[in-house]
Amino acid sequence: MKYTEGGVCAAKGFSANGVHCGIRRNHEKKDLSLIVSEVPCQAAAVYTTNRVKGAPILVDMEHLSNGIAQAVICNSGIANTCNADGVEKARAMAEICSRVTGIQASDIVVASTGVIGQPLPLEPIAGHMEELFGGLSHSAEGCLKAEEGIMTTDTRPKMTAVSFEIQGKTCHLGGIAKGSGMIHPNMATMLVFLTTDVAISHTLLHKALQMDVRSTFNMTSVDGDTSTNDTCCILANGLAGNAEITDENEDFAIFMQALNSVTVDLCRKIAGDGEGATKLLECCVTGAKNEEDARVLAKAVICSSLVKAAMFGADANWGRVLCALGYAGTELDVDKVEVAFRSEKGTIRVCENGSGIAFSEETAKEILLEKEIEILVDCHDGEGSAKAWGCDLTYDYVKINGDYRT
């Protein structure tokens, strides 16, 4: 298993592109992306649990009901959510894409991200579909363009891929993701498109995705707001040539590991580039009663505004970590809890048996001034462990969100 270039274009038979079509006023910013497989793929997706769902999600649920897809079309700028004609527009978007690519509309995954409640104009999409399709590329550059087309307030592209072997065949799995606000764990999250050339049954592909998001995207939070348009979708075209994975055997385990390597990397990229973020935070809970408790505790710490603001200030205010653990909603023996902070500069223990211990504020500051901070919580009360990813809360988060629409 090794990281490689190419993102969604790493897997055989996938190409991608992104263009500026005019949904956004800024001509410098791409706003329409396309990912295509040479052949039809097994496809699976998980979606937001928000009861307000973007129209594209309603259409994707129909399109993916047979487990087959061959392309993804996605615009940024407008979410196509809370519009009376949203579903009609999402269907039309797939049809426009179908006419140009020759792929059946029902085999196209549709996604939108951006402002909620503004009508989606179809003309820019129709007017640029030929250009978008014509420019499809199998290169890493094609993937980068597609990524740029789905980015909103993201400051950095988020793409990753791994190569690995199954039955002696070289396989690939890669993905792109869009952050960076309205990010909060709940079944699926944000927009993530994954591609692989592994041959795998639809049932196992869907199972793998569902299992994986529980410990990856569902454990990532930027601001506690679960988006209306969250979609995480994977396409598997089978071109690697392995015998189709149809059992939960060793090959499936390798596939799960590859998937997890890609999704964890995307989670770290999403959290680290959260709106206004200056730091990636990773909370590692160990010694919890069970895994579910560990998840709940790790998420509570990552979601606490006060912990996030303290990390922005490089302030070792561990009392706020204890406070968040306390209101997380799980049983917790506070008197056993141990807390430490870790970064490239080292590790510092700040709390033992639920009480503060003497530590050097100077050393703590040095550790917390780094860009990647681990908050280590040991409950000393069992075997459950979990990780959650988030970011600090900064002036820029407020600035970005104080006037996002204008």
User: Which residue numbers are catalytic?
Assistant: 189
User: What does the binding site for a second copy look like in residue numbers (CB under 8 A)?
Assistant: 49-53, 79, 81-84, 115-119, 181-182, 184, 186, 223-228, 303-306, 309-310, 312-313, 315, 317-320, 322-327, 331-332, 334, 351, 353-356, 393-395, 397-406
Q: Residue 68 or residue 115: which is nearer to a second copy going by CB?
A: 115
Q: Within a 10 A sphere around the Cβ of 167, how many other Cβ atoms? A: 14
Inter-residue contact 199 to 181 (CB < 8 Å) = no
> Measured from the CB of residue 360, what is the shortest distance to a second copy in angstroms?
14
Q: Residue 230 or residue 282: which is nearer to a second copy going by CB?
A: 230
Inter-residue contact 225 to 181 (CB < 8 Å) = yes
Spatial strand order of the sheet with 372-378 comes to 355-356, 346-352, 338-343, 372-378, 280-288, 384-391
> Measured from the CB of residue 102, what is the shortest distance to a second copy in angstroms?
34
> Measured from the CB of residue 223, what is the shortest distance to a second copy in angstroms?
4
Amino acid in the structure at residue 131: E
Q: Please provide the size of the chain in residues.
A: 406
Angle between helices 55-63 and 86-101 (to 10 degrees): 50
Q: Residue 116 or residue 266: which is nearer to a second copy going by CB?
A: 116
Per-residue tokens: 36: 């295509």
Inter-residue contact 345 to 397 (CB < 8 Å) = no
DSSP assignment of 31-75: -EEEEEEEEEEEEEEEEB--SS--HHHHHHHHHTTTSEEEEEEEE
Q: Residue 27 or residue 51: which is nearer to a second copy going by CB?
A: 51
Q: Within a 10 A sphere around the Cβ of 169, how many other Cβ atoms? A: 15
> Measured from the CB of residue 399, what is the shortest distance to a second copy in angstroms?
7
Q: How far apart are CA 311 and CA 325, in angstroms?
A: 16
> Measured from the CB of residue 228, what is the shortest distance to a second copy in angstroms?
5
Q: Residue 161 or residue 321: which is nearer to a second copy going by CB?
A: 321
Amino acid in the structure at residue 144: L
Torsion of CA 47, 49, 53, 55, to 10 degrees: 20
CB hemisphere CA count around 41 (13 angstroms): 33
Torsion of CA 305, 311, 313, 319, to 10 degrees: 70
Q: Compute φ and ψ for 396, nearest 5 degrees.
A: -70, -30
Q: Residue 253 or residue 398: which is nearer to a second copy going by CB?
A: 398
